[in-house]
Structure 1
Amino acid sequence: MAVHGARGRSGGRPTLEEVAARAGVGRGTVSRVINGSPRVSDATRAAVEAAVAELGYVPNTAARALAANRTDAIALVVPEPETRFFAEPYFSDMLRGVGAQLSDTEMQLLLIFAGSDRERERLAQYLAAHRVDGVLLVSVHADDPLPDL
């Protein structure tokens, strides 16, 4: 079989199945190696790692998140008009701090404005669909219904 570099047989990104075929193992074994399972022999681990390197395989983070029932996303919800958010230094400092804390993780930060009833409605639908793993609420006022969402 010819080395495909960073492209799989389909011309796109190499797949888990292509790595398994190259290494001469099953798809589950490749998954165990990629996820660091100790239930794989050293020889098998070496064969899978060599196939990953040869093919340039990169795990699909979206598929992994779906399988783990995670989104790897945190929503930063701001119940203020966008003009206020961009005008006040507090918000940029806070955004920078949150981004810095997440920088060493696999988590993505989503900025969501929820100042209007329509935006809150969309946010409620987004959260109900479990599209984020967590929510950070900032600038919430005492009578704000957002925390109940």
Structure 2
Amino acid sequence: MSDEDGLAWLTDAGYRAELAKFEALAATERRLKRYLDELNDLGAAADPGTALSMSLSGFDRGWQRWKAMKRSETNLRLAEIRARKAQAATILTHAFARNDVAQGLRDRARAGRARKAAVKQMETLQDQAIMAALSTRR
């Protein structure tokens, strides 16, 4: 393995690791958003008779406080995840750029080695042709 191949392999592994971190944060963000939607839907489609009895019993106030507390906690967690996701996006962009450059270096090095091998092969063929031509003259 050439130096360029090793560098390309390492940068690709680094990029994939950063991509996995970003995807995990995105999945967490989606879960939290779904949970917020579920909280908003809770009680929205309640039976009017049940809602009236809950309101009269004081249960509704406790329920609303609980929903507000959970919504607040979830929004804080969501804000934290979004901030971490923004940082991860920047890191991922840099990892992608490093990987792209390393892949380009590897590809150029391979092309250079292939050109050198082709030139060497052509020189060998020329030498063989000259030797064959000289041997037929004698």
Task: Quickly name the TM-score band, shorter chain normalised.
Answer: under 0.3
The structure where strand makes up a greater share of residues is 1
Q: Which has the higher contact order (CA 8 A, sep 6+)?
A: 2
Give the TM-score, by structure 2 length: 0.26
Give the TM-score, by structure 1 length: 0.24
